Amino acid sequence: MYLKNLELIQFKNYERQQLEFNSEVNCFLGENGAGKTNLLDAIHYLCLTKSAFLPVDSQHIRHGQTFFTLKGTFELAQKTLSLSCVFESHKKKRFEVNGNPYHRLSEHIGLLPLVMIAPDDTLIITGGSEERRKFFDGMISQTDSHYLQLLIRYQHYLKQRNALLKRLSEEGKKDLLQLSPYDQKLIQLSVEIHNIRSRFLADFMPYFLDHYAAISGQKENVSIDYKSQVSQPDFAKNFAASLDNDLFRKRTGLGIHKDDFDFQLDGYPIKKFGSQGQKKSFLISLKLAQFFIFKTLKGTTPLLLLDDIFDKLDDQRIFHLLSQVAKKEFGQLFITDARPERSKEILKTIKARISFFSINKGTLSEENVD
């Protein structure tokens, strides 16, 4: 799979821009704030129907405008896919493939697998449990459309139950009859989602462990422990017994929305006890495992987007990434960097077709290197 071309209209700092890409390495160069990451985000939009950074679509419209449009042409399994994403202020986002609109955007997730490594990814390790759930849910959703629908249904019932809890609490009522349908759905969905997460983690771990061993030189033992209230044998009883507490707090306290993935280093939480280098190794290993499990489960090579990584990683971790590129393990690669000389020096060590795009004051110029 690869992206042949990209068009942006009124998207972030681009008034109108068209780009043609090669199927191997494409590098966006320019000063900070020039719009390099915006190009990666446009690719992310086309693959996953949303931004990698800001959840509100209106925040991506160019200042002073009322809409943005993104278009791209992909080659996938010897088929050409023409994608279009249009968002107008105060209107529903429109997404089309080969001229056919989606009724639900979730139908598109997983068609064009993508992995992105960006500076803010450190939150997966240092942030709260929500960040880690989001990471794993995003992965599983790209490989299993049924799982994504389960998540959507779970969030719907959770929102409805929380609204009912708030109303009942304010009215001083305890109406089990009204709560029962939501309780049953949330318990059932929690069990289904928990089981899928458990199975996916079991498949994910060998990829993760292999990459961490290669990056770290097998110096430490790492693990990921999936922690869930649902794994307790009396989960359904515990859910029912928590009603008084839920009414007091006006929200649901048990369920898979409380799950966490405990990242450990030699038996201790890496969040608290890991060095910066160990955390970086852990993160890169997570992302590379994501890439290779996508490649296996989807039967196609995902796009790989690397945002400003040369500034964040040391030589050892950069070497491990580029060694994968040199071995042709990756497909199409997109890279951003604020220092052109550094990128060209690093990338000349690999044998690949490379296109450099220089960005200056909203204009791009291209230089191809073989």
Model pLDDT, residue 165: 96
User: In what helix (H) or strand (E) does residue 241 lie, and over which residues does it extend?
Assistant: helix 235-241
Model pLDDT, residue 368: 63
Under a CB-based contact definition with an 8 Å cutoff, are residues 47 and 112 in contact?
A: yes
Please give the Cα distance from 90 to 67 (Å, whole number). 10
Tell me the mean pLDDT in the region 148-170.
Answer: 96
Tell me the mean pLDDT in the region 159-182.
Answer: 94
Tell me the mean pLDDT in the region 205-224.
Answer: 90
Please give the Cα distance from 317 to 223 (Å, whole number). 19
pLDDT, tens only, 309-359: 887 777 777 877 777 776 778 899 999 999 888 888 888 888 888 999 999
What confidence category does residue 369 fall into, taking pLDDT thresholds of 50, 70 and 90? low
Please give the Cα distance from 215 to 236 (Å, whole number). 42
Q: Which CATH architecture has domain 126-137+145-205+217-290?
A: Up-down Bundle (1.20)
As a whole number, the mean pLDDT across the chain is 93
Topology at the third CATH level for domain 1-113+300-370: Rossmann fold (3.40.50)
Model pLDDT, residue 311: 77
Please give the Cα distance from 114 to 295 (Å, whole number). 10
Under a CB-based contact definition with an 8 Å cutoff, are residues 27 and 327 in contact?
A: no
**Which pTM value belongs to this model?**
0.92
Model pLDDT, residue 370: 56
Model pLDDT, residue 348: 82
pLDDT, tens only, 225-239: 999 999 998 999 999
Model pLDDT, residue 297: 94
Where does the chain show beta strands of DSSP type E? 2-11, 14-20, 25-29, 67-76, 79-88, 94-97, 100-101, 114-117, 222-227, 260-265, 268-269, 303-307, 333-337, 354-360, 363-369
User: In what helix (H) or strand (E) does residue 214 lie, and over which residues does it extend?
Assistant: helix 176-216
- Residue 85: pLDDT over 80: yes
pLDDT above 90: percentage of residues in the chain: 78
Model pLDDT, residue 235: 96
Model pLDDT, residue 262: 97
79: β partners: 76
**Where do the domains of the chain lie?**
1-113+300-370, 126-137+145-205+217-290
Please give the Cα distance from 209 to 168 (Å, whole number). 48
pLDDT, tens only, 99-136: 999 999 999 999 999 999 998 899 999 999 999 999 99
pLDDT, tens only, 280-310: 889 999 999 999 999 999 999 999 999 988 8
